[in-house]
Amino acid sequence: MHGSSKTAHGPRDQRASVATLSQMAIAVAPDRTSVLPGRITNATLASFVRSVPSVDEVGVEERVASLATRSIKKDSKMDALLLAVRMMDLTTLEGKDTPGKIAQLSAKAVRPDPVDPTVPSVAAICVYPAMVPYAKQSVEGSGVKVAAVATYFPSGQLDTKAKLAETASVVAMGADEIDMVIDRGAFLSGEYFRVFDEVRRVKEICDGKAHLKVILETGELGTLDEVRRASMLAMAAGADFIKTSTGKVQPAATIPVTLVMLEAIRDFENATGVQIGMKPAGGIRTSKDAIRYLVVLSETLGPRWMTPDWFRFGASSLLNDVLMQIRWLKTGRYQAGDYFTKD
């Protein structure tokens, strides 16, 4: 039913106009399509993508460097570390993953620090589709969500039909969250309609059942301009969250990339009234890193985003460093790494 130039978003103005920047600033409709052209074609989407404000890389680096000097101490540090735990999507995405591995990871996710029950559970565990049933079973009743990667993660190089089938099966297995990848090849060759349409159709499958995170794989996009454009396209198409990376490509998440995506989220909410979440993933390994991300989040989007509902860290090795710092803040002593479980 899709794939033509018609949109499924209801009757619209038939002019092939694009939403200009100034329109975006004044339009506040509770509908994300309000930023989109009347008729959605590759040509009108190309104009939409080009209307996204450009990004000055030097300026972004400078802002990030300035925010990196924020000095987070005492209570504010403890608050940040506990929040970082609650925001974590504890991840294992390996060919060698097994039900046993998933069970161990789930136990860690539910109770990160066995000797300190005040440390909260993480937000979710993030796994490959085949592991979803085991993950569901292991975290049942704990409040920890199961996120599954989909759409031929990590490359996305498969025909749309097969990707949709994969998504449908993962949703049917009960995944709470779907982390899909965009087709970067299509995006970089200007096939915006294909990218848009895939996100939109995956969203249709998820709708009401699973939360959709859209991975841009920013390490392959080349410039911050393209990061911002891809962010807007993904949000307009239906992303609940936008996510930096698969973790399989270097560089993965960086703070400058995250800042640009947060700024796109801010513009998108201004234009549509729709709040979108953010997930940097890959390469975030230390508490210090995590706190820097939270500073950028807090000073760019403010307190409404300071919750796991709207921000996640995709990470596999960050958790233990955060636990170590929490222990240090509580006791004044660093514990050796062997006091924290390796799962």
Residue of the chain from 15, 17, 56, 207 that contacts another protein (CB under 8 A): 56
**Residue 46 CB, nearest distance to another protein (Å)?**
17
* 85 to 104: interface string for another protein, x by CB under 8 A: -x------------------
Cβ-contact 150, 170 below 8 angstroms = yes
Residue of the chain from 35, 110, 205, 323 that contacts another protein (CB under 8 A): 110
What does the angle CA 323 – CA 92 – CA 94 come to, to the nearest 5 degrees? 145
Query: In angstroms, rounded to a whole number, what is the distance separating the alpha carbons of residues 53 and 279?
Result: 22
Query: In angstroms, rounded to a whole number, what is the distance separating the alpha carbons of residues 96 and 130?
Result: 12
User: Angle between the 287-300 and 255-272 helix axes, to the nearest 10 degrees?
Assistant: 30
**Residue 118 CB, nearest distance to another protein (Å)?**
6
62 part of the interface to another protein, by CB under 8 A: yes
Catalytic pick among 176, 243, 267, 321: 243
Q: According to CB under 8 A, which residues from 232 to 271 bind another protein?
A: 263
Q: Which of 179, 265, 273 is nearest to 228 (CA)?
A: 265
Cβ-contact 92, 102 below 8 angstroms = yes
Catalytic pick among 179, 183, 240, 289: 179
Residue of the chain from 10, 11, 14, 58 that contacts another protein (CB under 8 A): 58
Q: According to CB under 8 A, which residues from 119 to 178 bind another protein?
A: 119-121, 141-143
**CA 175, 96, 138, 80 torsion: positive or negative?**
negative
Query: In angstroms, rounded to a whole number, what is the distance separating the alpha carbons of residues 44 and 282?
Result: 33
**Residue 269 CB, nearest distance to another protein (Å)?**
12
- Unique residue bearing structure tokens 């080349």: 222
* 275 to 304: interface string for another protein, x by CB under 8 A: -------------------x---xx--xxx
Distance from the Cα of residue 161 to its chain's centroid: 23
What is the contact surface with another protein in residues (CB under 8 A)?
21-22, 25-26, 53-56, 58-60, 62-63, 69-77, 79-80, 82-83, 86, 110-111, 114, 117-121, 141-143, 263, 294, 298-299, 302-304, 306-307, 309
